[in-house]
Structure 1
Amino acid sequence: MCSHESAETCLPGPPVLSVTAVDKAFFSPRGRVVQALEGVSLAVREREFVCVVGPSGCGKSTLLRILGGLDSPSSGDVLPAGGPGRPAAAVVFQDFGVLPWLTVRTNAAFGLRMAGVGRRAAEASSYPWLERMGLADFADSYPDRLSGGMRQRLALARAFATGSPVLLMDEPLGALDPQTRRLMQEQLLGLWQEERKTVVLVTHSIDEAILLGDRVLVMSARPGRVLDEFSVPFPRPRDLRTVDSAEFGQLRARVWNQLRGQVADAQAPYVADDRVDDVGTGDSR
């Protein structure tokens, strides 16, 4: 529910991306088949914020790439973002993804430039996002002059500037220190509540998933499957005070109880030559 909106405008719309019975296999350096995903099915509705948690190596990032049309499944059906007649999803990565040889201004415009927009128009359209992110004073600087939090704000500015209605975020705040991460969570909350884009966010943080999401999906250890789904009951708009409520703690415990066994399984010893060597993406997280 959304306390500041009518029920009609608040409810998420129809599915805009989905996977059905998706499998994904890779090859280890010695040619062994490594099953990253197995029988994964999920649907994400328009204007919904879905968070995915799971142990390392469970295929969360692979799933995100498939949802974005950046990779293909070994089997199963996919309705990816950016399909026929739909704009491509904007992607935000854990390592910020900013290009060190471009200025802040040209980094912010990069997504639009890749979509075929002319340089001047792209920079004019993206500059307001630099202002919103507090980066306008650094527009002509290079990323090495920015802190980690500022580089992540730049990555978000670039993603929002594309105008894509779908954002796919792979541990977008994972590289930040705890204090900066909390500030960025708050800023991301505010941006989503203003823009109401469809978001799928992969994170290792249960707190982050509950704070930001409408739903939290728990994935199993490899091969990754959707093990459980939790609806987040807290009304919007939210802020960081939500984390301090007793209800939040109860939901956190429920998610962790489902996840803890999968984390233990993922940490079990495995044969070294079964490390994934993804010839398609280089990643099976």
Structure 2
Amino acid sequence: MRIARFSVDDEVKFGLVEGEGDQPESLEVAEIVGHPFGPVQVTQRRWPLSRVRLLAPVLPSKVIGIGRNYAEHAAELGNEAPGKTDPAVVFLKPSTSVIGPSDAIQYPLGVSFDVQHEAELAVVIGRMCRQVPVARVPDVVLGYTCGNDVTARDLQRAENQWGRAKGFDTFCPLGPWIETELDPGDLAITCTVDGELKQAGRTVQMTRPVADLVSYVSEAMTLLPGDVILTGTPAGVGPIVVGQQVSVGIEGIGNLTNRVVARD
């Protein structure tokens, strides 16, 4: 299933995206009752996807980021990637950083001078859980979506901690929807800026795979329905500037596209 959160006629709803491909003109969205964190019941109400506005597919209580989970990305920034048995690099992005497809990434001019894209596979948690064994991770995952862990790289370097650099409003685009029937083990992941390919990797290159990450994070904190774990970014991160358009694509999910504007 492809689960979307959307706005139509001034109402916000969840629905199932149906049809082939990822082009709006070939798809429609069927409203579901309530939320998707339980049995899904479809109503009779349907709209062409082109008629609705897609929103961030969830409103998480927290976004948990994983740093340096691709060795080549760690190396390009002059860092050593932790080994599979080493402590993972974990950070939090606030819920206020989340935006959806086609929403604008707001560049904090005058505060940062080096904002960068980071294309990532995002894991969406489906039910409350903690201390989840690796073997049980599929039971607590609702599905997967595209994420962009936007980062003020100059602040990250200067401040020796990542909360502010990665926590600005609009610095966590998610979408376009949640794909529930997906094996995350070896998916192509790309990022383009104004149509130019900047990042190209595969999830098989992760040091810690998805199941290990969910289990690891759940050892420390209770995960709630809708919480998101960003799984790290492949090599090729780089700057984005006002006026550009950045797009994250993940095999089996689709594309998440956002423009960059100056913050008011």
**TM superposition score category, shorter chain reference:** under 0.3
Which structure has the highest strand share of the two? 2
Q: TM (normalized to structure 1)?
A: 0.24
Q: Radius of gyration: which is bigger? A: 1
Normalising by the residue count of structure 2, what TM-score does the alignment of the two structures yield? 0.25
Instruction: Name which structure has the greater RCO, CA cutoff 8 Å, separation 6+.
Output: 1
